[in-house]
Amino acid sequence: MYYELFRLSHFVAIFFFAGALVVENMAIKPQISGEDARNLAKVDAVCGISALLVFGIGLTLWLWVGKPAEFYSSNPIFHAKLGLFLLMVLCAIAPAAFFLKHRKSYEEIVAVPSYLRLLLKFELVLLLIIPVLALLMARGIGLSA
C-alpha cells in the first residue's frame, strides 16, 4: 500500500514539475513585462518545490519503500536517469536566481538573457529523455543477469 501511495505521489510531483517547466518555456521571451516576471517567479517556485518533492519521494522509493535498493543501485540506466535529473536541477539554478531577483520587480520591461532561455529549453530536452530511461529501467534493461 505504501509503495503505491509513494509511486502516485512521485508521478503527481513529476507532472507538476513538467507543467511548470512547460509554462516557463511558453512564457519566456527576450523581454518580459514586470508582471510576467512576477508571475514566472511563482511558476518557478512551483517548479522548484515539485523538483524537491520528485527527488525526496524518489529517494524514499529507492532506499526504503518498494523494490530493494539493489534493484536500482546496480542499474547503470538508473544512474544515468539520476544524473540527468541532477543536471536538470543544476540548469534550473540560473533561471531560479533570475526569477527570484525579479519576483518583486516593478520595471516595465525586464530583459531576459539568451542563455536563460537556452537553459530552460535544455531542461525540457532532459525532461523528455528521463522518462525514456525510466521505461528502459522498468523493462529491466541495464540489470546484470
Mean pLDDT of 96-103: 92
Question: What pLDDT is attached to residue 76?
Answer: 93
**Cα–chain-centroid distance for residue 37?**
20
Question: What pLDDT is attached to residue 68?
Answer: 83
At CB < 8 A and 24+ separation, what contacts does 79-84 make?
80/133, 81/130, 81/133, 81/134, 81/137, 84/126, 84/129, 84/130, 84/133
Per-residue CA distances from 45 to 19, 95, 122, 138 (Å) = 12, 11, 19, 30
Lowest-confidence region among 10-19, 33-42, 116-125: 33-42
- pLDDT of residue 129 exceeding 70, the answer is yes
Mean pLDDT of 14-34: 95
> What digits encode the pLDDT tens for the residues 72-84?
888 899 999 999 9
pLDDT band at 145 (very low <50, low <70, confident <90, very high): low
